[in-house]
Chain A
């Protein structure tokens, strides 16, 4: 044994363990009793379901004989952790539920792993867990497995949550970014940019007080109502980071088509619109966490629009554009005043303008 391998003792260790902490300490992630207690006390009662109660490091998910299994994963970081309309917990559940749902499939179960920073408040953790449980309940998707690790103070920003999930897609659905076809109509499920502006104003750095709430929500029920109405859905996608513009550009490239949007029919909340105007942002590039883009053949568009508007989270749905064969891989915007311009992907970070 050389000198460097001798563990450093940081002073005398208290012989009486503190049973109940108000903050996360390193021991909560050590895999022993404290970890078990944390799980039993906070995670199990909230996420409770038969799969989790089996106590294994894996869970079986009930599936069907036909169809395909869809897998997705998403890591969640957000500052502040709580913002108008949601929090990191609701975001973590909705994020993966929505990624799965955009296959047209039915999400069957989620897993969640938590990276906690030493010193993180346990009552805040509990609030986040309760919010995750409520969102999972709302989506009807159980959280079937989880993991917790604790890192030293300063090595993380409070809490990071990764969620993964599986969904089942029936054989008759073929939905994906590569399936847009000339002649398709493009729909959006509601107003754009709400999440990004809500989080930005919740940071309090802008000196703005807006009433905007994040749209963060699980969209799997809305998706099911559409695919039950018609099998003829070509693309579903949630325009999260990078916003509508960036997501549509991805689809235009994947499908090798041109997408033409009408600026005047794109729904934007007036408060989001004026906030963006003031800061030099464009709502078409601002993140959404509870919106989806739908591509269907033109003859299905009005029917799908009616279905979406009758559902929760689809009340402000609108037809916003169409697909053409050219310009391949690009998105064009017919502006309010009748001009036409390119709607490009966002490059790097969105930066506020000087004046």
Chain B
């Protein structure tokens, strides 16, 4: 098995689609949590193959999109300093802050580097002892273990010049926020497979019970997504809201226990501002006090930054599944990936960017 084509098999896809068609009786609104899932749904043209009863809305699970403007501005400020090498995942470079993005910092002479792993940033710190190396530690539960590992690794090497700018967010509080909103439309969740590969899915049972909503752990390939949708529809039609796993080749109920221990050792819960949504209590992670030495926010005095968001952008409502990109007056007209007004247009996993890239077929330009 090469895991490249098997889960895109056209015949198997047809089979699952016909099962979905056979099962669905009522209209349902289902939200995929993760931006990677949104990307895959649009990339493979999955939504249009589904029966009209099923409406997919797109969740807040794009870490690039929800990283708060304050933190992006802090990143820009730190990256602009002459003695700093600022390391980041690639798709964070184009995210607009109040003034410019990391690309413009780089063009102005700042040392901004794309890395694939925080451990690469630690290597850069080893090779450049006279520079401060800062890694932009963004992401959900998925990226947290490697980010935690980088801190422990830097500590074990005795590195004095490595720090991380932490912007970790967690999925369950966001699900609570969406479901308790008076505007909520979501009736079923496709839980983010890779988040669950780290955290397991035991923590979703409570959410499912409180809000009477089915939650199905779902992967990213077309067959994974369609199987997740099928299981969600079965649970909805039979009126049995509970948690199921449609991604068992990767996810177990308990998750990756050593990875969880690593997270717990380095990070602790904190309130977080989500870009476009606002403050969600206890929805993120920050470094524990014993690792404050590695906290870029503490190492670099960054004054309180006045942030400014676009007045037109509706990315907050998009991130909560209340509206879809074509309902925004700016979408595709004044807001494009080249000139994004909000973060959902920037990352390839952002809902607006995915619509712009894959679904702008009938739009006049």
Residues of chain A at the chain B interface (Cβ within 8 Å): 205-207, 264, 270, 273-274, 277, 279-280, 327, 330, 332-333, 335-342, 344, 347-348, 351-355
Contacts and interface: CB of A to CB of B under 8 A. Distances in A.
Q: Is the interface of A mostly helix, strand, loop or mixed?
A: loop
A339 B44 contact: yes
A355 B139 contact: yes
A337 B42 contact: no
Interface string B73-111: 000000000000000011111100000000000000000
A355 B63 CA distance: 9
Nearest to B340: A347
B142 interface: yes
Contact of B49 (A274, A327, A339, A352): A339
A337 B8 CA distance: 6
A342 B358 contact: yes
Contacts of B116: 205-207, 279, 352
B113 to A, nearest CB: 9
Nearest to B5: A336
Given A339-B44, A340-B45, A354 B2 contact: no
Contact of A339 (B5, B46, B89, B336): B46
A237 to B, nearest CB: 22
B26 to A, nearest CB: 24
B139 A337 contact: no
Contacts of B91: 280, 351-354
A335 B45 contact: yes
6 contacts: A277-B4, A336-B5, A337-B45, A337-B222, A344-B360, A353-B348
B264 to A, nearest CB: 20
Interface in B8-67: 8, 10, 13-14, 36, 42-49, 63-64
B337 A348 contact: yes
A327 B91 CA distance: 30
B106 to A, nearest CB: 11
Contacts of A207: 116
Nearest to A282: B43
Interface string B338-365: 1000000001110000001111111000
Contact of A348 (B5, B45, B94, B358): B94
B45 A273 contact: no
Interface string B239-283: 000000000000000000000000000000000000000000000
Contacts of A274: 2, 4
Given A270-B4, A277-B4, A336 B89 contact: no
A280 B348 contact: yes
Contacts of B348: 280, 351, 353
Interface string B122-143: 0000000000000000110011
Contact of A342 (B8, B336, B357): B357
Contacts of A270: 2, 4
Nearest to A333: B45
A353 B39 CA distance: 11
Contact of A330 (B47, B138, B361): B361
Nearest to B119: A207
A279 B89 CA distance: 11
Contacts of A277: 4
Contact of B94 (A280, A344, A351, A354): A351
A355 B348 CA distance: 11
B194 interface: yes
A277 to B, nearest CB: 6
Contacts of A347: 336-338
B114 interface: yes
B53 to A, nearest CB: 18
Nearest to A334: B45
A335 to B, nearest CB: 5
Given A273-B4, A338-B10, A340-B361, 11 more contacts: A335-B45, A337-B8, A341-B42, A341-B358, A342-B360, A351-B114, A353-B89, A353-B348, A354-B63, A354-B89, A354-B90
Contacts of B2: 270, 274
Contact of A354 (B10, B64, B338, B361): B64
Contacts of B337: 347-348
B349 A341 contact: no
B44 A354 contact: no
Contacts of B46: 337, 339
A66 B112 CA distance: 55
A337 B49 contact: yes
A259 to B, nearest CB: 12
B263 to A, nearest CB: 15
Interface in B300-354: 336-338, 347-349
Contacts of B362: 327
Given A337-B10, A339-B46, A348 B338 contact: yes
B361 A352 contact: no
Contact of A355 (B8, B49, B93, B142): B142
Contacts of B63: 354-355
Contacts of B360: 342, 344
Nearest to A350: B90
Contact of A336 (B10, B36, B139, B356): B10
Contacts of A336: 5, 8, 10, 44, 222
A340 B48 contact: yes
B2 to A, nearest CB: 7
A337 B362 CA distance: 22
B359 A354 contact: no
A327 B362 CA distance: 8
Given A274-B4, A338-B49, A354-B64, A344 B358 contact: yes
Which 8 pairs, one residue from A and one from B, show the smallest C-beta to C-beta distance?
Answer: A339-B45, A351-B90, A352-B90, A354-B89, A347-B337, A341-B358, A337-B13, A341-B45
Contacts of B138: 354
Given A339-B44, A351-B348, A355-B139, A332 B4 contact: no
A337 B116 CA distance: 30
A352 B358 contact: no
Contacts of B143: 354-355
B104 to A, nearest CB: 12
A321 to B, nearest CB: 15
B147 to A, nearest CB: 11
Contacts of A327: 361-362
A334 to B, nearest CB: 8
Nearest to B223: A337
